Amino acid sequence: MSDCLFCKIAAGEIPSTCVYEDEDVFAFRDINPQAPVHVLVVPKIHIGSVSEINSENAAAASRCLEVIGGIAEKEGLENGYRVISNCGPDAGQTVHHLHFHILGGVKMGEKIV
């Protein structure tokens, strides 16, 4: 999608701090970190959110999940971490390109979730 921030970041058209990249997936540091480690993992193809995952694009979404464990290990999150994907307005999704937040490096509260 031509006007999507994360499409542009994944294509290298907008700078970011990349922590992982392969043919299908791009991962980079969140610009406004909510934890000592806050990485965003996105598919290189445009998928709007979890709601838009379907049989055509599920492999790209699943590739994001496949690489999260390795990124977390490299980031030193051996004590655990949280993976979040906000979907739609009630969840506070602000960028409409599927992304998985990896949050860690701190003991998190028990709420949400």
- Binding interface with Zn ion (CB under 5 A): 1, 4, 6-7, 46, 97
Picking from 57, 112, 12, the residue whose alpha carbon sits closest to that of residue 101 is 112
Long-range contacts formed by 18-25: CB under 8 A, 24+ apart: 19/71, 19/74, 19/75, 20/67, 20/70, 20/71, 20/74, 22/63, 22/67, 24/59, 24/60, 24/63, 25/63, 25/64, 25/67
Any idea what DSSP says for residue 108?
P
What, of Zn ion, ligand AMP, none, does residue 7 touch, CB below 5 to 8 Å by kind? Answer: Zn ion
We find the least distance from the C-beta atom of residue 22 to ligand AMP, in angstroms, to be: 19
Contact status: 87 vs ligand AMP (CB under 6 A): no
Query: Which of 24, 30 has the CB closer to ligand AMP?
Result: 30
Contact status: 92 vs ligand AMP (CB under 6 A): yes
Tell me which of 2, 13, 23, 32 binds ligand AMP, using CB under 6 A.
32
The contact set with ligand AMP (CB under 6 A) reads 5, 16, 30-32, 40, 86, 92-95
